[in-house]
Structure 1
Amino acid sequence: MPLIVLWDIDHTLIENSGVSKEIYAAAFAAVAGHAPLQPPRTEGRTDRLILAEMFRAHGMQSPAWERIVLALEAAGVGRDADLAARGRALPGVPEALAAVAVEPGMVSSVLTGNIAANAGVKLRAFGLDVLLDMECGAYGEHSEDRAALVKVAREHIQQAHGFPHDTPVVLIGDTPRDVRAAHDSDAHVIAVASGIHSVAELRAAGAAVVLADLRDVSALVSHLRSLAHGSD
């Protein structure tokens, strides 16, 4: 049976070393007219939710999303070089993405809170975009709710690849929000303790499979094959 594999980006595939928060701060300043007084809260939130919370924290009504997304796109332009210089692809990530990309019946894309433009910036900085079907992903502009993004990605991939509606989906991410999004959308989840959350925290959040990182590519592929064959 085919399998839809959806990857989170920040702290799952890459370490952005603060560039993300700089992008949010720049976008906020462009819309609000002044720099934020405190850093944004991220940890698995979508861009819609991050910016909405930033405006609320400053006692301001959140502007129309159309203004915010334009500011986010502008803030992300040209940050490839900063990401490449300061950040990195996390251990095992290029090898893991390459292995999944050639697995028969698997489509590998992204489910991220980042808007599509900035997701592309982040992945291109490390040459990872070519290992993913970026056109079929689900991004921060699609919903404030991470779980709702699963339905978006599922529909995109079903339409593009002709997969049946009961094709299993697995999310790979590093936060309890990723785990919750999977549970709330009837998807499987493989949690990776490559961010700020420990193996114990991710298990407590409900992840049955938790990896320390993505260096053991054979173990990852084995988990994915078991999901494709319905043996999880």
Structure 2
Amino acid sequence: MELIVLWDIDHTLIENAGVSKEIYAAAFTALAGKAPAGPARTEGRTDRLIMRDMFQRNGLVEPDWTATERALADAGEARFHALSQRGTALPGVREVLKEVSVSSSWVSSVLTGNIADNARVKVAAFGLDPLLDLSVGAYGADALQRPDLVAVARERAQRLRGAPDGVPVVLVGDTPRDVEAALSTGSEIIAVASGVHSPQELADAGAHTVLPDLTDTSRVLGILEALSAR
């Protein structure tokens, strides 16, 4: 059976070691001409919301999104080396992505609050990009709210990969916002407690499947196979 698997990036696939917040700060500084008063608030928000919040908290008018996206992309590209040196792919990620990628009936991509350019930077920094079909992913410039990204990814999978109507979608992520995005769109969720949220917090958000991490490849594959067979 067919399946669309959409992976979150930060704290699900990779640990960015603070580089992500440095990207937001650098983009803000480039646009505002001064450093922000405090760090970006992320926790599963889209880049549109993160940057809007930064400008509002600093008492500034939000710039045109085109300029903001360009500033984010420039800041991300400039920190590719820093990310590759300071960050890491999380345990088990490479192995499970390899196994999922070889299934001819599954589409494996990303659903992330990052803009597309920075999503590519983050997975490419650790050589994960060949294991993901990034062209059908959904990114932080595609919608303001995370749940709306699910329809974007589904449409791209249908148009570019011929995924049929009604094919099951499963999100894999580490925050309550990932859980919300799945539940509010009729998608499945594998919550992973590899970020700042505990297994109990993820369960309280509504996730029925909560894993400590992605190290048990067989278990992850078994869950996905069961979902695809529904």
- Offset of 1:7 from its aligned partner? 0.2
Distance (Å, rounded) in 2 between the aligned partners of 1:192 and 1:40: 23
Matched residues, number: 230
Q: Please give the secondary structure, in 2, of the residue aligned with 1:189.
A: strand
Query: Which runs of structure 2 are paired with 1:1-232 in the superposition (5 Å)?
Result: 1-230=1-230
Identical pairs, percent = 58
Q: Please give the secondary structure, in 1, of the residue aligned with 2:159.
A: helix
Q: Please give the secondary structure, in 2, of the residue aligned with 1:94.
A: helix
TM-score normalised per structure 2:
0.99
- Offset of 1:164 from its aligned partner? 1.1
Distance (Å, rounded) in 1 between the aligned partners of 2:63 and 2:84: 32
Report the RMSD for the aligned CA atoms in angstroms: 0.7
Distance (Å, rounded) in 1 between the aligned partners of 2:102 and 2:77: 31
- Offset of 1:186 from its aligned partner? 1.1
Q: Please give the secondary structure, in 2, of the residue aligned with 1:108.
A: strand
Distance (Å, rounded) in 2 between the aligned partners of 1:34 and 1:105: 49
- Can you list the C-alpha shifts for 1:32-60, whole angstroms capped at 9, x where unaligned? 11100100101101100000000010111
Distance (Å, rounded) in 2 between the aligned partners of 1:81 and 1:159: 34
Q: Which residue identity does 1:69 align to in structure 2?
A: E
Distance (Å, rounded) in 1 between the aligned partners of 2:13 and 2:163: 25
Distance (Å, rounded) in 2 between the aligned partners of 1:103 and 1:200: 32
Once superposed, which parts of structure 1, at least 4 consecutive aligned residues long, lie more than 6 Å away?
A: none
| Structure 1 alignment gaps of length 5 or more | none
Distance (Å, rounded) in 2 between the aligned partners of 1:39 and 1:79: 17
| Structure 2 alignment gaps of length 5 or more | none
Distance (Å, rounded) in 2 between the aligned partners of 1:95 and 1:78: 28
Distance (Å, rounded) in 2 between the aligned partners of 1:85 and 1:161: 34
Q: Please give the secondary structure, in 2, of the residue aligned with 1:77.
A: helix
Q: Which residue identity does 1:212 align to in structure 2?
A: P
- Offset of 1:199 from its aligned partner? 0.6
Distance (Å, rounded) in 2 between the aligned partners of 1:184 and 1:49: 19
Distance (Å, rounded) in 1 between the aligned partners of 2:186 and 2:38: 36
Distance (Å, rounded) in 2 between the aligned partners of 1:90 and 1:173: 13
- Can you list the C-alpha shifts for 1:54-77, whole angstroms capped at 9, x where unaligned? 001011121111110011011111
